[in-house]
Amino acid sequence: MKTHREIAEQLDLFHSEPQAPGMIFWHPNGWELFRDIQEHMRRVYRRNGFEEVNTPVFMKKELWQTSGHMDMFAENMFFGGGKENIDEYVLKPMSCPAHILLFKRGVHSHRDLPLRLFEFGLVHRNESSGSLNGCLRARQFTQDDAHVFCCWSQAEAEICGFLQRAKQVYGDYGYHNLDVKISTKPEKALGSDEQWCRAQKLLDSACQIEGFNAEYQAGEGAFYGPKIEVSLTDSMGRRWQCGTIQFDFNLPERFDVQYANEQGEFERPVIMHQAMYGSIERWLGILLEVSQGNLPDWLHPVPVAIASGVNRATHLKSRVLWASTRLNKVFMWRACDAAP
């Protein structure tokens, strides 16, 4: 079995350099593949009521102090700044605090909810050099990072929507047996017992409604909320978490996030983090290893190879196959746009 890096070399997709450890240099074929994967998810998000945003990559340390990441995640963050303020800025490791700042730009009514935002956020995490592994473990990667702001009464429908999208998106890539797990409250956790119990029941109920026999991971939730994990297995049998939807009881309090309910009183919205691919780079790496380079026809950046010395008829046939594959890709995008 070839690794994703060996397949990438064979298909001329990407490579890494010692001058940028844990980061990817995309070749034309690889960048086309990356953009097609990205566009596939963009269309799914838009069709399901999400609005695309874009937020800065480099933001002041004070934002990450407010969010709590400085206390919990600083060793995995990159710091920098100008000549006078050497480490007053952070390369964002995730987009959550920035999306909350977007929400807080206006006064929101219950009529505005659910509000769904998504971003292909370029993030940086200071992974140890020994753990780096091509696309599967990188220091710079792109998340299909989405956040839903909603009322408690809307939360179950949002979770069901996530699971429905997971069936569709994963199925488009040939993954039909999804590994779904629910991670519950750890020993040290923020939020009330009532919040945790309510959220965990909603996650379980949504899995049952959508036909998933989810396995429980007791105590494996984050300190700020329980979650559903959707995982894939690579060619070496390693399990990688990709998709997730997760409650957050921490950030609404830290950023004083509010909306006006039906009585005109202010209360905290439910905030749910979610991603379908997780990291586009990791998703691509797993896909290469599982498929061994035999990618879906609609996605393959190199659908045919033309050998030297072929006759005119063979060359023409190859060009027709290439054009047909590219047209199929276009037709698939149009079908996605037309779907309800």
pLDDT (tens digit per residue) in 103-131: 999 889 999 999 999 999 999 999 999 99
Based on the fold, state whether residues 85 and 150 are members of the same structural domain.
Answer: no
Asked whether the predicted pLDDT for residue 276 surpasses 70, the reply is yes
Active-site hit among 61, 165, 273, 300: 273
Same domain as 192, residue 234: yes
Same domain, 215 and 295: yes
* pLDDT > 70? residue 218: yes
Check if 227 is active-site: yes
* Residue 64 domain-assigned (yes or no): yes
**Could you tell me if 115 and 257 lie in one domain?**
yes
Task: Choose the catalytic residue: 140, 143, 195, 200.
Answer: 143
For 122, residues 6+ apart whose C-beta sits below 8 A from its C-beta are: 57, 140, 141, 142
CA–chain centroid gap for 64, Å, is 20
β-pairing verdict for 89-91 and 259-260:
unpaired
Domain shared by 33 and 176, yes or no? yes
92 catalytic per annotation? no
- Does residue 117 belong to any structural domain of this protein? yes
Same-domain pairing of 74 and 158 = no
Residue 241: pLDDT band with limits 50, 70, 90: confident
133 and 269 share one domain: yes
| pTM across the whole model | 0.86
Do 27 and 134 lie in one domain? The reply is: yes
On average, the pLDDT of the chain sits at 88
Out of 40, 124, 181, 227, the active site residue is 227
Provide the pLDDT for residue 337.
53
Q: Which of 40, 42, 61, 96 is catalytic?
A: 96
Residue 300 has a pLDDT of 79
Q: CA nearest 227: which of 203, 209, 205, 206? A: 203
d(CA 281, CA 288): 11
- The tally of domains found in the chain comes to 2
Residue 323 lies in a domain: no
Q: 240 and 115: one domain?
A: yes
Residue 260 in any domain: the answer is: yes
Closest to 203 measured CA to CA, from 164, 157, 165: 157
Per-residue pLDDT band for 303 (boundaries 50, 70, 90) equals low
Contact 4, 30 (CB under 8 A): no
β partners of residue 79: 90
- Rounded-to-10 torsion of CA 212, 213, 217, 220: 10
Query: Could you tell me the two tokens for 146?
Result: 């989405």
The residue range of the domain holding 73 is: 58-91
Is 273 a known active-site residue?
yes
What is the Cα Rg of the chain in Å?
22
Q: What percent of the chain has pLDDT over 90?
A: 74
Asked whether residue 327 is domain-assigned, the answer is no
Of 162, 147, 163, the C-alpha closest to 113 is 147
List 5, 137, 144, 145, catalytic entry:
145
Q: Is 145 a catalytic residue?
A: yes
Q: Is the pLDDT of residue 266 over 80?
A: yes
Distance CA 231, CA 278 (A): 10
- Cα 31 to Cα 12, 107, 193, 281, 312: the distances in Å are 10, 40, 46, 11, 30
Query: Rounded CA gap, 224 and 250, in Å?
Result: 5
Active-site residue, from 61, 108, 137, 147? 147
Considering 92, 125, 139, 282, which one is annotated as catalytic? 125
338 lies in some domain = no
Q: Is there a domain that residue 337 lies in?
A: no
> Could you tell me which of 296, 306, 283 has the C-alpha nearest to residue 328?
296
Q: Is 43 designated active site?
A: no
User: Same structural domain for residues 244 and 281?
Assistant: yes
Residue 225 DSSP symbol: B
319 domain residue, yes or no: no
- Judge whether 147 counts as a catalytic residue: yes
